[in-house]
A and B are shown apart, each in its own frame.
Chain A
Amino acid sequence: MICVYCGGELKPKGDRCPGCGRNVRMIKKLIATSNALYNEGLKRALIRDLSGAADVLRTSLKLYKLNIPARNLLGLVYFEMGEGVRAMSEWVISKNFLPEDNPAGRYLNEIQNSPAQLEVINQTTKKYNQALLYCRQDSSDLAVIQLKKVLSVNPKMVRAHQLLALLYIQEQRYDQAKKTLRNALKLDGSNVTTLRYLKECNLALKHEPDRKKKEKQNRELISYASGNDTIIQPVKLRDNTALTTVLNILIGVGIGVLITWFLVVPGVKTSVRNEMNVQVTAANETIADKEQTILSLQNQVDQMESQIEAAKLGEEESDTRLTSYQQLLNAYVAYANEDVDAAGVALASVNADYLDTSAQDAYETINTQVNEQYMDAAYHAGDAAYNEGRYDDAIQEFLKIMVLDETYHSGDALYSLAQAYSKNGDDQNAATYYRKIATLYPDTQRARTAERFLAEYADTAEDQEAEDTTAETAPAE
């Protein structure tokens, strides 16, 4: 016990302070009363009459504010009721009055060293305040949700239980209100507000059956005035006939079919169509790939055929070249053996384009000499055959010269050939060569002879044609 005047320790006996000597009788009475109230508060707290304990402890502190156990106990009661901030306030004040050997310091340390607990206190407080705001804004649903969140985090908060119960009572959900209030009573067994709400719930629930019955009747019957009469009839007229049942089933089936036809079938069709489109697209892509492959292979085939063709041409060219060289060699050998005929035949088979420059020079030299001798021999042989009347032989000899040089011997060979044909009775070939004479050597005796022959030949041909026409048009006997 401390003297309020000097702060010194007071003795249990005596009315004067040993330190300052003042009369402390009244002060000691106040302190004793405060201690008695603390004891009462402690008893109530032990039987979980928390609100009663809080009231008594607050009174105790009003008498003597330095009653540290009373203040610490008040903090504990607040904490147990879910009022964390108020509890901490009391402990801070207590610690301020008695810094040493004070349990309040331990309580504060425990809370401050647990951030999770601090966060719970903070969130609970904020949500409770938000719920209260919702209540005042007539948003009961939101308030109920918010309070349920508060109680799920901090189920000790008596005020949240009470407010939730109040909201349930307002909505006439008395069963739920009662359940909430019972939970509140487990925390604070003699809370006046809780007990008052509970009494209200019990009263309401006592009259609940009558109320429910009346409501049910109101729901099932409707009444209206018709003239001077009041007609009361059930809301729903029941019709349980078999026909109605069958009709209902048929209507249901019909609706089901229509739904299937208009909603399900188009969906299935669309699905099938889409699937087919996908498959067609895939097939087209495959075909395109195949066509591309075929085209590529065809190009390869064409390329290879071209290579084969080129190889064949090359081979033919090589053969021709080889043959030309062989024939040139044969011609040379025959020429060396003075076999002009054989040399001429061999030279005729030589293609000079395939010979190289030196071979071409040799070819030209041999060819010139062989041709001269060859044509000279043929001309004399032909002339001799003509003079002996062997016109076929003559024609063969002169034709050898025509192959090499039509103008040989100033056209003598050509003229002799035409005459040989004429003598041999082959006017058609004779006319061919006479025309060449007339063309190559105009204004010469030979040309005039040729023209005369051609004129006679033309007359003869016309006569022959006329005779043929007459023979064709004459009637058959």
Chain B
Amino acid sequence: MIDFEEELKNYEPSLEIEEAVDNIYSHDLTDLTDIFREMLEESRRA
């Protein structure tokens, strides 16, 4: 049985055009290659 109130919490407001720029700047673009490279840098420093 679907709980309407609970289900409603899964819906988030859509991004409006005015918010697009902020969304792009706040986008987390870190990927695994970044993490892997950092790990290598740290191990090299150690």
Q: Do A and B come from one complex?
A: yes
| A contact residues, range | 35 or more
Q: Cα distance A129–B12 when bound, in Å?
A: 8
| Interface residue SS majority, chain A | helix
**B5 → chain A closest CB, angstroms:** 9
* Segment among A85-93, A249-257, A323-331, A424-432 that sits at the interface with chain B: A85-93
Q: Contact mask B1-33 → A, CB, 8 Å, 1/0?
A: 110100110110111110110011001011111
A65 at the interface (CB under 8 A from B): yes
Looking across the interface, which residue of chain B has its beta carbon closest to that of A133?
B13
Q: Which residues of B contact A63 (CB under 8 A)?
A: 31-33
On whether the beta carbons of A27 and B33 are closer than 8 Å, the reply is yes
Interface size on B, residues (CB 8 A): 25
CB pair B4 A166 closer than 8 Å: yes
Q: How far is the CB of A210 from chain B (nearest CB, A)?
A: 16
B2 touches A200 (CB 8 A): yes
Contact A136:B8 (CB < 8 A) given known A27-B36, A166-B2 = yes
Report if B37 contacts A (CB, 8 A). Answer: yes
Which of chain B's residues have a CB closer than 8 A to the CB of A188?
A: none
B31 touches A65 (CB 8 A): yes
Cross-chain contact A89 with B31 (CB below 8 angstroms): no
B2 x A64 contact (CB < 8 A): no
Mask: chain A, 123-151; 1 = CB below 8 Å from B; 0 = not: 01110110010011000000000000000
Instruction: Check B13–A129 contact: CB distance below 8 A.
Output: yes
Q: Is A121 on the interface with B (CB-CB < 8 A)?
A: yes
Chain A residues in the interface with B (C-beta under 8 A)? 4-5, 26-27, 30-31, 61-65, 83, 85-86, 88-89, 92-93, 118, 121-122, 124-126, 128-129, 132, 135-136, 159, 162-163, 166, 169-170, 193, 196-197, 200
Give 22 CB contacts A-B under 8 Å: A4-B33, A4-B34, A26-B36, A30-B36, A65-B31, A85-B16, A88-B20, A89-B20, A92-B20, A92-B24, A93-B29, A124-B14, A125-B15, A125-B17, A128-B13, A129-B14, A129-B16, A132-B11, A159-B14, A170-B4, A197-B2, A200-B2
